Amino acid sequence: MKKLFVLAIAILAMVSCGDEVEFNSPAMQGKKDGTTWKAVSYRAYIDENGKSIITGHNNYETINLQVSSFSVGTYLLGESNSNIATLIGSNLEEYSTNNLPDQDIELYPPDGIIEITEFNQVNNSISGKFWFNAYSASGTQTVNFSQGIFYNIPIPFSSGPGLMSCDEAVAATATAAELYNATNPSDGNFATVCNGYKNALMDQQVACGDDTGILQGIIDGLICENETDYWPRAIGNSWTYNTAINGEQTYQITGTETIDGLNYYVFDDLFGGPSWLRKEGPNYYVRAQFSGSLPGYQFTSTPFEVNMIKDDAIVGETWVSDVSYTISYIPEPGQPNIPDSDVNATYTFEMIERDLTRNVEGVDYNDVILIELVVSSGTTNVTTQYYYSNNIGLIEYITSEGANTLSNYTLN
């Protein structure tokens, strides 16, 4: 039976962690469902309806904070409130503090606070903090954002309360574009320069309008971060490993499948049974259903899903997948029946290192991340280390049985 991750899956205690929110100037960040969230572009502006908006984007998700004005004060969030917090996910699903939970689900109502602590008229910037609980339009999904801060977010004001003029905005965009065009994508400051250009374009949209959509087209075409794909997905992709106990093993993507409205790539046999892979923003989810044998019995599990990779995690950041599944046993002739077993396990992942160069079987792989997984169930803990190379995939994984190394791969 193939065992790429079977030890970690089959031997399945909550592990909690916390890391302080740190920020530079300007910044917008906090904790989304307990995981660090940090914007790479941000702005504050007044929309065509006179609403004051503070927005941040992390290349995958967007947070919008709408308040009645930029005046220093506390703005309450909740049902039918004109002050609204929204989060738009990478799948374009919107969570809002103006959405209510499904009546069949007894959950707390949407709520939150946006507190503006400073409006700096000299620097034309705004600072404050926020938290909120928001729901999807269906009311069946929720998101929690805590420890939120926005600091020195620029506002396109020229002087006093007047909006930046269109001419001023066009000039600022031209300056930002010139710097962007002069900066090589390999430059360490490229992301900062690119996001500065993006912010200037958004300011121009506010000051001048964008009826033709030309400015939005430029914004949508800007890729301010290097494209990352630590598990490339395409039909026919395959990875062959020299494993510690099973010799040479190959794992191939054979097709696609939609399950519960989510699109997955299907592996032939990744976990010793059916396995599926999908990517949503920086997160790579693996759905697994393993099977195997014991003396006198065959066994199989119900499906479960874990967040195997979070490619934007900083070193030391952790994330957790809590899973529950049932194992069923099929006796061979003459063996007694064994009742089903319910398993609850916690998968705790940690980003150990980033930007590594690792030599595997004589090949140097660059842009490598190292993720450590600890699977906990009851008093049992199993640790596995995974090395992923950008645009290649998993190049090595280390279990208690030894190292398993990539020897060949095919990517389409």
Q: What is the pLDDT of residues 207-255, one digit of tens each?
A: 777 778 888 888 877 777 666 789 999 999 999 999 988 889 999 999 9
The pair of structure tokens assigned to 104 is 């069949």
* pLDDT over 60 at 311, yes or no: yes
Q: Assess if residue 1 is contained within a domain.
A: no
Do 60 and 184 lie in one domain? The reply is no
Contact 329, 351 (CB under 8 A): no
Indicate if 309 and 359 belong to the same structural domain: yes
- 239 and 348 assigned to the same domain: yes
Same domain, 298 and 347: yes
pLDDT of 102 above 60 = yes
Who's near 101: CB < 8 A, 6+ residues apart?
107, 108, 109, 110, 135, 139, 140, 142
Is residue 109 assigned to a domain?
Answer: yes
**Rounded mean pLDDT of the chain?**
84
DSSP state of 73: E
Residue 349 belongs to a domain = yes
List of residues 6+ apart from 74 with CB closer than 8 A: 113, 114, 115, 116
In the listed set 199, 224, 249, which residue is the last one of a domain according to the structure?
224
Domain of residue 197 covers 160-224
Amino acid 144: pLDDT: 92
pTM score, two decimals?
0.53
**Beta 393-399 vs 402-410: how paired, if at all?**
antiparallel
241/346 same-domain check: yes
Q: 359 and 276, same structural domain? A: yes
Residues 248, 372 within the same domain: yes
* Residue 356, in any domain of the structure: yes
- Which of 341, 348, 340, 342 lies closest to 376, judged by CA? 348
Residue 19 predicted with pLDDT over 80 = no
Q: Where a domain ends, among 186, 204, 224?
A: 224
Distance of alpha carbon 219 from alpha carbon 204, whole angstroms:
11
Give the count of beta carbons closer than 10 Å to the beta carbon of residue 393: 19
Q: What CA–CA distance (Å, rounded) separates 369 from 179?
A: 31
Same domain, 278 and 390: yes
CB count within 10 Å of CB 227 equals 7
| Judgement on whether residues 145 and 88 belong to the same structural domain of the protein | yes
275/395 same-domain check: yes
Confidence of residue 395 (pLDDT cuts 50, 70, 90): very high
CA neighbor of 40 nearest in space, from 236, 146, 195: 195
pLDDT at site 358: 95
Lowest mean pLDDT across 196-210, 311-325, 362-376: 196-210
According to DSSP, the β-strands at 94-96 and 111-120 are unpaired
Q: Is residue 201 part of a domain?
A: yes
What does the longest C-alpha to C-alpha distance in the chain come to?
87
Residues 142-179 as b or e (16 or more Cβ within 10 Å = b): bbebbbbbbbbbbbbbeeeeebbeeebbeebbeebeee
Contacts of 287 (CB under 8 A, 6+ apart): 259, 264, 275, 276, 277, 278, 303, 304, 305
Burial class (CB in 10 A: 0-12, 13-18, 19+), 53: middle
What is the distance between the alpha carbons of residues 185 and 23, in angstroms, rounded to a whole number? 24
Tens digit of each residue's pLDDT (9 = 90 or more) over 37-78: 888 888 888 776 778 899 998 878 899 999 988 888 899 998
**pLDDT tens, position by position, 279-308:** 988 899 999 888 778 888 888 889 999 999
Q: Is residue 32, in this structure, part of any structural domain at all?
A: no
Same domain, 175 and 269: no
Into how many domains does the chain fold? 3
- Beta-carbon contacts of residue 167 (< 8 Å; ≥ 6 apart): none
Pair 63, 81: CB distance under 8 Å:
no
**AA letter at 340:** D
Running DSSP on this structure, what letter comes out for residue 270? S
Does residue 187 share a domain with residue 256?
A: no
- Find all residues with CB under 8 Å of 172, minimum gap 6, and list them: 164, 200, 203, 204
Q: Domain for residue 34, yes or no?
A: no
CB 283 within 8 A of CB 32: no
Of the given ranges (5-14, 28-37, 97-106), which has the lowest mean pLDDT? 5-14
Q: How confident is the model at residue 115 (pLDDT cuts 50, 70, 90)?
A: very high
SS3 at position 208 = helix
With CA atoms as reference, report the closest residue to 38 among 250, 230, 310, 253.
310
Q: 249 by DSSP, 3-state: which?
A: strand
Residue 399 lies in a domain: yes
Report the alpha-carbon distance of residue 412 to residue 26 in Å, rounded. Answer: 41
DSSP secondary structure string, 294-349?
ETTEEEEE--EEEEEEETTPPTT-EEEEEEEEEEEEEEPTTPPP---EEEEEEEEE
Indicate the residue among 172, 193, 224 that finishes a domain: 224
Tell me the pLDDT tens digit for each residue of 342-389. 889 899 999 999 989 999 999 999 989 999 999 998 888 899 999 999
Where residue 393 sits, what CATH number does that domain have?
Answer: 2.40.360
